[in-house]
Amino acid sequence: MPRPTRKRVEPIRTEALLVRRVPVGEADLIITLFTEARGMMGAVARSARRTSKRFAGLEPMHLLRVSLEERAGSDLALLVEASIAKPRLHLTTALDRLEAAGRALRWIRGVAPPGTPEPGLFCTVNDLLDALDVAPPEGSVNAHLATAGLRMLGNIGFGLVLDRCVHCGKPCAPEATACLDAEAGGLVCRACGGARLVVRSALRARIEAAAAGDDAAILAEDAQVVVDLVEAALSAHAAPAR
Ligand SMILES: [Zn+2]
């Protein structure tokens, strides 16, 4: 009787970011990749801690090129090959940049569902890592992070609503000071209960400009409040834990 031929499965070749690595057993790694082709993916990298040849540069921050084989009956793919497509060597030399990048990767891990391509999110986080790699001006690291965070919200379909109340839809005049509830997704008018955070019109305009693509809109002094906003909004839309 002829042996049943094992169906040859084409490996998935894609660019990816390493978002988590957990050592398992003697030499293996369980990794989480944010891939361009399939979004979040878990994979096993066999003997990755023993031989670095097949898995050169399996480190966070660099843009990687990977080959993965899906395995029947398992949530974890098999990492066949990994190499660095674009190194980001300067990013890892400054603590503040590394921290900002790490935070962005945590955000991604929190909101990107497994197995679903998120091209916008992939692009936004890679743009941020590139910007952090080319020595951003003193004090602007968190402004970059804040800007990327606002865009991530847009990428996943939860961009902050800043021109009207998210509850009743009442428009808010551009020059007005407004109450912003990030977890609710944007402005909340006083009739609907308002919100603890009060945002002046100028900052509201800068947040809107940054979300829409202006890289220089968020000022250093805005960064912390915007990062906090992003974090609150993202956590309200976190993907189920896995
Ligand atoms: Zn309202």
- Between the CA of 153 and the centroid of ligand 1 the distance, in Å, is 22
- Between the CA of 214 and the centroid of ligand 1 the distance, in Å, is 28
Check whether residue 30 and residue 135 sit in a common domain.
no
- Helices 141-155 and 201-211 cross at an angle (nearest 10°) of 70
CATH (domain of 164):
1.20.1440.120
242 domain residue, yes or no: no
Check whether residue 107 and residue 62 sit in a common domain.
no
**Cα-based angle 70, 73, 75 (whole degrees, multiple of 5):** 60
- Between the CA of 164 and the centroid of ligand 1 the distance, in Å, is 8
- Print the domain residue range for 155: 91-236
Q: How would you classify residue 107: left for phi > 0, otherwise alpha for psi between -120 and 50, otherwise beta?
A: alpha
Which residue, 62, 86, 110, sits at the end of a domain? Answer: 86
- Between the CA of 191 and the centroid of ligand 1 the distance, in Å, is 6
CA gap 87, 84 in Å, rounded: 6
- Between the CA of 238 and the centroid of ligand 1 the distance, in Å, is 25
- Between the CA of 1 and the centroid of ligand 1 the distance, in Å, is 73
Domain count, the chain: 2
Check whether residue 223 and residue 114 sit in a common domain.
yes
Which residue, 86, 101, 132, sits at the end of a domain? Answer: 86
Instruction: Return the higher-pLDDT residue of 20 and 239.
Output: 20
Asked whether 90 and 134 are in contact (CB, 8 A), the reply is yes
- Between the CA of 64 and the centroid of ligand 1 the distance, in Å, is 46
- Between the CA of 165 and the centroid of ligand 1 the distance, in Å, is 5
CA gap 189, 230 in Å, rounded: 20
Single out the residue of 172, 233, 228, 178 nearest to residue 203, CA to CA: 178
Q: Can you say whether the dihedral through the CA atoms of 5, 7, 10, 16 is positive or negative?
A: negative
- Between the CA of 177 and the centroid of ligand 1 the distance, in Å, is 14
Check whether residue 104 and residue 183 sit in a common domain.
yes
- Between the CA of 212 and the centroid of ligand 1 the distance, in Å, is 24
Check whether residue 172 and residue 209 sit in a common domain.
yes
Check whether residue 34 and residue 136 sit in a common domain.
no
pLDDT digits (tens, 9 = 90+) for 39-72: 999 999 998 888 767 787 788 899 999 999 999 8
pLDDT digits (tens, 9 = 90+) for 144-181: 999 999 999 999 999 999 999 999 999 999 999 999 99
241 domain residue, yes or no: no
pLDDT digits (tens, 9 = 90+) for 80-104: 999 999 999 999 888 999 999 999 9
CA gap 131, 185 in Å, rounded: 27
Confidence of residue 242 (pLDDT cuts 50, 70, 90): very low
188 to 102, 117, 132, 164: CA distances (angstroms): 31, 32, 34, 8
